[in-house]
Structure 1
Amino acid sequence: MKGPRPCKDRMGFSNRSFRVDTVKLQHRYQQLQRLVHPDFFSQRSQTERDFSEKHSTLVNDAYKTLLAPLSRGLYLLKLHGIEIPEGTDYEMDRQFLVEIMDINEKLAEAQSEAAMKEIESIVRAKQKELTDNVSRAFEQDDFEKAKEILTKMKYFSNVEEKIKLKKIPL
């Protein structure tokens, strides 16, 4: 086994389409892991075991990146030379920011499982809508629109994390 080559392409993701068949993606992931997983290299040389570990890590990272719409979209933007800098707001419109504030306030005030489920449902619906919109933006090669939508998706992803944390009993 040789060491991994530097490559921008993740798991044969050369068509650069936002739409991904997750069943095929999972199948490809499993195929690649059968080839490179460290468990299959336990009796090999240290160099081969190290290469196997590096390959396996790359395959895992690629799978995680391509599986989630937000990370997949950010990866596609990066392939086109566009990045959304961390910790910056991408010229978000006031109405959207008010919507996020309202959801965060509802989340902070939520005291029942029903209230949490309602917020979760709202966020899930918004993420689905944004995922559909970003898919269309990529299909039309409208990378600025995709960037704007992905920034909104990041906000909702942060809300999803807050929901998960609030659900965990301390």
Structure 2
Amino acid sequence: MRTHFDVFGLPRAYDVDVPALEKHYRELSLQSHPDRVAQADARERLKALENTTALNEAFKTLKDPVRRAFYLLKLHGVDLDREDAGAQKDMPLEFLEEVMELREALDGAMEKKDLARVQTMGGQVQGRRKAALDEAAGVLRALEGGGPAEEAPAQVRKASHALGRVRYFTRFLEQVDAFEEESLS
């Protein structure tokens, strides 16, 4: 299976030189743009369109550290984008309870139209989201190095829990952003 990393000739790694990726993307975009084969037969035009679509998706995924982390985890066999993903159901109960409390506190602050409180909560959760992403990145980097095969499942599980927290925190922050927009308009 050809991965997003393969599209750019990159190793499967969390750390990516984004400026170099952007430059390579522009070069590949010019080479494979469907307009270059506008006069070709339908099969060639379709292939050019498919290549451009794959290139765009690969670039969008690899340039964003969160998407890249989720994608690497998927390459390790855990797809958190699936609603039935076992890792989502496997989140520690204490964390899920904490998320419920946070959401209730956010709902209460939003009901009271307490913008300052909502923004404070958003700042705190933003810090926790960054910490969870940093944790996931560290684990994914460790998986790149190989290490003992028997440790890989535990490491993948640790990364999936960290990225599960990133997902919950991202949703929370989306609510904060929506409330801020509504309050300031």
- TM interval, shorter chain, is 0.7 to 0.9
After superposition, what is the alpha-carbon deviation per residue over 1:108-167, rounded to whole angstroms, capped at 9, x for unaligned? 233254344323322321221112111111122222211211111121222233334445
- The answer to whether structure 1 residue 162 and structure 2 residue 178 are counterparts is no
| Unmatched runs of 5 consecutive residues or more in structure 1 | 1-5
Residue 102 of structure 1 is matched in structure 2 by 101
Larger radius of gyration: 2
- Please provide the CA RMSD for this pair: 2.7
Normalized against structure 2, the TM-score is what? 0.73
The one-character-per-residue Cα deviations of 1:45-80 (angstroms, maximum 9, x if unpaired) are: 433322221111111111122233332122212222
Alpha-carbon distance change, 28 to 119 in structure 1, aligned in 2, over 3 angstroms:
farther
Shift in Å, 1:168 = 5.0
Aligned to 1:121: 123
Residue of structure 1 equivalent to 2:71: 75
Closer/same/farther in 2, CA of residues 114 and 43 from structure 1, 3 Å limit = farther
Q: 1:113 to 1:41 in 2, by over 3 A?
A: farther
Match of 2:142 in 1: 140
Residue 34 (structure 1) shift = 1.5
Q: Distance in 2 between matches of 1:33 and 1:40?
A: 10
Instruction: Show the counterpart of 1:3.
Output: none
Identical positions, percent: 27
Task: Report how many aligned residue pairs link the two structures.
Answer: 165
Provide closer, same or farther for how the CA distance between residues 49 and 137 of structure 1 changes in structure 2, counting only shifts above 3 A.
same
Normalized per residue, the structure richer in helix is 2
Q: Which runs of 4+ in 1 moved over 4 A?
A: 167-170
Which runs of no fewer than 5 residues in structure 2 stay unpaired? 144-154
SS in 1 for 2:175: helix
- Report if aligned partners of 1:42, 1:49 keep a CA contact under 8 Å in 2: yes
**1:3-32 C-alpha deviation (Å, 9 max, x unpaired):** xxx513433364221122222222222222
Q: TM-score, normalised by structure 1?
A: 0.78
